[in-house]
Amino acid sequence: MLATALTATLAGLQAHLVRVEVEARRGPPTFELVGLAEAAVRESRVRVRSALAQLGVHLSECQVIVNLAPADVRKTGSGFDLAIAAAALGALGAAPRDAIEGALLVGELSLEGTVQPLRGVLPQLLEARRRGVARAIVPRANSAEAALVDGLDVRTVGSLAELLSALCGRSELPRAAAVAETSPARALDDLVDVRGQSAARRALEIAAAGGHNLLMIGPPGSGKTMLARRLPGILPALTNEQALEVTAIHSVAGLLSASRGLSRARPFRAPHHTVSEIGLVGGGDGPRPGEVSLAHAGVLFLDELAEIRRGALEALRQPLEDGVVTISRAHGKATFPARLLLVGAMNPCPCGWLGDGSGRCACAPERIRAYRAKVSGPLLDRIDVHVVLPPVEVAALQGPARGEGSEAVRARVERAAAIQRERHARGEVNAATNAALGPRDLDRVAPLCADGARMLAAAVDRLGLSARAYGKVLRVARTLADLEGAAAVGPAHVAEAIGLRVLDRGALAAAA
Ligand X SMILES: Nc1ncnc2c1ncn2[C@@H]1O[C@H](COP(=O)(O)OP(=O)(O)OP(=O)(O)O)[C@@H](O)[C@H]1O
**H/E stretch holding 319:** helix 317-322
Number of other residues whose CB lies within 10 A of the CB of residue 328:
9
The answer to whether residue 406 forms part of the interface with ligand X (CB under 6 A) is no
Burial class, 286, CB count within 10 angstroms (exposed 0-12 / middle 13-18 / buried 19+): buried
CB of 225 to ligand X, least distance (A): 3
Cβ contact 100:58 at 8 Å? no
Q: What is the 3-state secondary structure (H, E, C) of 70-137?
A: CCCCCECCCCCHHHHHHHHHHHCCCCCHHHHCCEEECCEECCCCEEECCCCHHHHHHHHHHCCCCEEE
Pick the piece of the chain touching ligand X (CB under 6 A) from 37-45, 55-63, 152-160, 190-198. Answer: 190-198
Of 42 and 195, nearer to ligand X (C-beta) is 195
Q: Which does 431 bind (CB under 5 to 8 A by kind): ligand X, Mg ion, none?
A: none
Binding span for ligand X by CB under 6 A among 173-181, 192-200, 335-343, 458-466: 192-200
Q: Which is nearer to ligand X, 7 or 347 (CB)?
A: 347
Q: Residue 392 binds which one of ligand X, Mg ion, none, with CB within 5 to 8 A depending on kind?
A: ligand X
Q: Report, in Å, the least distance between residue 509 CB and ligand X.
A: 20
Q: Which is nearer to ligand X, 223 or 337 (CB)?
A: 223
- Contacting ligand X within 193-232 (CB under 6 A): 194-197, 218, 220-226
Supply the minimum distance, in Å, between the C-beta of residue 302 and Mg ion: 11
Cis peptide preceding 447, ω within 30 of 0: no
Q: With CB under 5 A, what is the number of residues at the site for Mg ion?
A: 2
Looking at beta carbons only, is 225 or 335 nearer to Mg ion? 225
* 182 burial level (CB within 10 Å; 0-12, 13-18, 19+): middle
Closer by beta carbon to Mg ion, 37 or else 345: 345
Minimal distance, residue 211 CB to ligand X, in Å: 23
DSSP string covering 198-209: HHHHHHHHHHHH
> With CB cut-offs between 5 and 8 Å by kind, which of Mg ion, ligand X, none does residue 222 bind?
ligand X
Residue closer to ligand X, measured from CB, 222 or 263: 222
Q: Looking at the DSSP assignment, which residues form a beta bridge with residue 328?
A: 333
Looking at beta carbons only, is 14 or 225 nearer to Mg ion? 225
Beta bridge partners of 34: 67
Task: Tell me how far, at minimum, the Cβ of 508 lies from Mg ion, in Å.
Answer: 18
Q: How far is the CB of 303 from Mg ion (least distance, A)?
A: 5
**505 forms part of the interface with ligand X (CB under 6 A):** no
CB of 222 to ligand X, least distance (A): 4
Comparison of 36 and 194: residue with beta carbon closer to ligand X: 194
The radius of gyration of the chain's CA atoms, rounded to the nearest angstrom, is 27
81-91 vs 160-167: helix axis angle to the nearest 10? Answer: 50
Residue 159 interacts, among Mg ion, ligand X, none and using kind-specific CB cut-offs from 5 to 8 Å, with: none
**DSSP, res 388:** E
Contact yes or no for 431/438 (Cβ under 8 A): yes
Distances (CA, A) of 448 to 274, 396, 428, 455, 476: 43, 38, 17, 10, 13
The answer to the question of residue 225 lying near Mg ion (CB under 5 A) is yes
Closest CA to 387 of 231, 188, 237, 275: 231
> Residues 49 to 108: which contact ligand X by CB under 6 A?
none
Chain Cα centroid distance, residue 327: 14
Neighbours of 448 (CB within 10 A): 21
Site for ligand X (CB under 6 A): which residue of 156, 213, 347, 433? 347
Closest among 315, 311, 310 to 291, alpha carbons compared: 315
Report the side by side order of strands in the sheet with 299-302: 268-269, 299-302, 341-346, 214-217, 385-388
Residue 220 binds which one of Mg ion, ligand X, none, with CB within 5 to 8 A depending on kind? ligand X
Min. distance of Cβ 268 from Mg ion in angstroms? 14
Distance of alpha carbon 197 from alpha carbon 23, whole angstroms: 70
Q: Which of residues 97 and 224 has its CB atom nearest to Mg ion in the complex?
A: 224
Contact range with ligand X by CB under 6 A, out of 188-196, 264-272, 446-454, 467-475: 188-196
Using CB positions, name the residue nearest to ligand X: 223
- Residue among 225 and 466 whose Cβ is closer to Mg ion: 225
Closest CA to 133 of 111, 155, 112, 118: 155
Binding segment for Mg ion (CB under 5 A), chosen from 216-224, 275-283, 353-361, 440-448, is: 216-224
**Pick from 392, 463, 492, 512: which binds ligand X (CB under 6 A)?**
392
Q: How far apart are CA 157 and CA 79, in angstroms?
A: 13
* CB of 224 or CB of 472, closer to ligand X: 224
Q: Which residues bind ligand X (CB under 6 A)?
A: 194-197, 218, 220-226, 347, 392
Binding residues for Mg ion, per CB under 5 A? Answer: 224-225
